[in-house]
Amino acid sequence: MALVELTAVEKVYRLGETRVHALRGVDLAVDTGEFVAVWGPSGSGKTSLLNLIGVIDEPTAGTVRVGGTDVAGLSENEKADLRNRRIGFIFQNFNLVPVLSALENVMLPLQIRGEPAKRVQERALHRLDQVGLAGFVRHRPDKMSGGQRQRVAIARALVTDPQIVIADEPTANLDSETSHRIIELMRRLNDEQGTTFIFSTHDPRLLDQVKRLIRLEDGRVVGEENRTE
């Protein structure tokens, strides 16, 4: 059984009178332990696709299964629980809580799980250190650069040791040294813990590291490349 399975997925956004057909019949299966990138031009549907896999949005038609469960059959609470238990999501626009410090942002998913306060703080500090932000834990997002905010979002997605990490252009705002460090961290989690990574990216450094590349164009999967390691 695939970890993530999309069947005949359509996504149509309604903007007043207009309809935008963002995904047009996508079939896709991702297994545990994959390190896969979705790649395609701006507007091709990458974010729309990742939002469906991340159980943040629902398809207009077709089915999305995560861990064998059809997401359409879940209540809002069950979906929130599924996200918190299994999924780490790195948003293209970060979605940090502006009034919270970097540390508080990263602690949040563990606090929601009700883990002991001391352990929550230790794990959050460890992840912030791994993304190179040990010196910025008390900073609020508005006092950080775009690349630093992106790294807070990465630390927050990784702090729960999720089974699936979904990352929408996770290195878009990073300089090459920081980008290298983040890619290494993600590869290590993939190799050592079998964490599944599903990205969208244009970053050649990240594309170079993926094991499987899915090409999206105009809401359709138009090509796929598998790389033997």
Ligand X SMILES: Nc1ncnc2c1ncn2[C@@H]1O[C@H](COP(=O)(O)OP(=O)(O)OP(=O)(O)O)[C@@H](O)[C@H]1O
**Which residue, 20 or 80, has its beta carbon nearer to ligand X?**
20
209 binds, among Mg ion, ligand X, none (CB under 5 to 8 A by kind): none
Element (H, E) at 65: strand 61-66
Binding segment (CB under 6 A) for ligand X, from list 44-52, 68-76, 123-131, 206-214: 44-52
**Which residue, 49 or 137, has its beta carbon nearer to ligand X?**
49
Report the distance separating Cα 115 and Cα 110, nearest Å. 6
20 binds, among ligand X, Mg ion, none (CB under 5 to 8 A by kind): ligand X
For the chain, what's the residue count?
229
CB 112 within 8 A of CB 159: no
**22 binds ligand X per the rule CB under 6 A:** yes
Rule CB under 6 A: choose which of 27, 31, 43, 222 binds ligand X: 43
**What is the 3 state secondary structure string of 151-200?**
HHHHHHHHCCCCCEEEEECCCCCCCHHHHHHHHHHHHHHHHHHCCEEEEE
Task: Compute the least distance from the CB of residue 206 to Mg ion, in Å.
Answer: 15
**129 binds ligand X per the rule CB under 6 A:** no
Binding segment (CB under 5 A) for Mg ion, from list 33-41, 42-50, 144-152, 218-226: 42-50
Binding to ligand X by CB under 6 A, coded x per residue (else -) over 81-100, reads -----------x--------
Task: Compute the least distance from the CB of residue 64 to ligand X, in Å.
Answer: 15
Binding segment (CB under 6 A) for ligand X, from list 38-46, 59-67, 130-138, 143-151: 38-46
Rule CB under 5 A: choose which of 3, 4, 5, 47 binds Mg ion: 47
Element (H, E) at 107: helix 102-112
CA dihedral of 217, 218, 222, 226, whole degrees rounded to 10:
40
**Which residue, 20 or 72, has its beta carbon nearer to ligand X?**
20
List CB contacts of 133: < 8 A, sequence separation 6 or more: 102, 148, 151, 152, 155
**Residue found by looking up tokens 């599924």 in the block:** 82
First-to-last alpha carbon distance for the chain, in angstroms, is 23
* Binding stretches for ligand X (CB under 6 A): 13, 15, 20, 22, 40, 42-48, 92
* Binding stretches for Mg ion (CB under 5 A): 46-47
